[in-house]
Amino acid sequence: MEVTERPDRVDTVTDSDRAEQPVVAGEAARYPAHVQLEDRVLLENEVVGAAAHPRMIRLVIAALHDDPARPWTAADMAELAGCSVRRLQEGFQAHVGSTPTQYLVDIRLQRAHAQLDTEPLAAVTDVALRWGFSSASRFAAAYERRYGVVPSSGRRSPGR
């Protein structure tokens, strides 16, 4: 998602603008409206609703939403923000209430949850890998902490 700054506010790309971006539009079309809304609300709460966030925080948040499956490192995020890793972590803690890495995990969990809801035959391991989790067991543990159920609950086997 692109973020544009105006003197009086911060705006994100509109849904009609997204339609012109085939990768984003194609990915967004895979999920029902309520899932797209949850992701948009998360982003807007952090970017639009928090115009007081420093530019470095807004840039990283937008990039994480754009490509959560990327194998992000703290150094990658800090480089994007144009600051040190420590400064980025301090800024996230102060303005977002979490670390950049935890914020990324939250996005990934949300996207994985949406995919598991919309694709009942998808393998949990494939979904975990798709959204950037390198370990299926760590994904399952994080998913259970967040949603209170294991990601395989309610899954159907092919042919059932």
- Whole-number pLDDT of residue 56: 92
**Alpha-helical segments (H) within 100-152:** 100-118, 124-130, 136-147
Q: Tell which residue, 46, 20, 142, has the closest CA to residue 28.
A: 20
- Dihedral sign of CA atoms 53, 59, 61, 66 in order: positive
The pLDDT score that the predictor gives to residue 128 is 96
pLDDT at site 67: 96
Q: Which residue has the tokens 């895979």?
A: 30
Q: Are 63 and 80 in contact (CB under 8 A)?
A: yes
The phi and psi torsions of 3 (rounded to 5 degrees) equal -120, 130
What pLDDT score does 20 carry?
Answer: 39
For residue 23, the Cα-to-chain-centroid distance in whole angstroms is: 16
For 35, the token pair is: 């899932």
**How much is the pLDDT for 148?**
94
Give the residue from 134, 128, 28, 14 showing the smallest Cα distance to 73. Answer: 134
- Tens place of pLDDT for every residue, the chain, 160 residues? 444 443 333 333 334 434 433 444 445 555 555 555 556 555 555 444 445 578 999 999 999 999 999 999 999 999 999 999 999 999 999 999 999 999 999 999 999 999 999 998 999 999 999 999 999 999 999 999 999 999 988 665 554 4
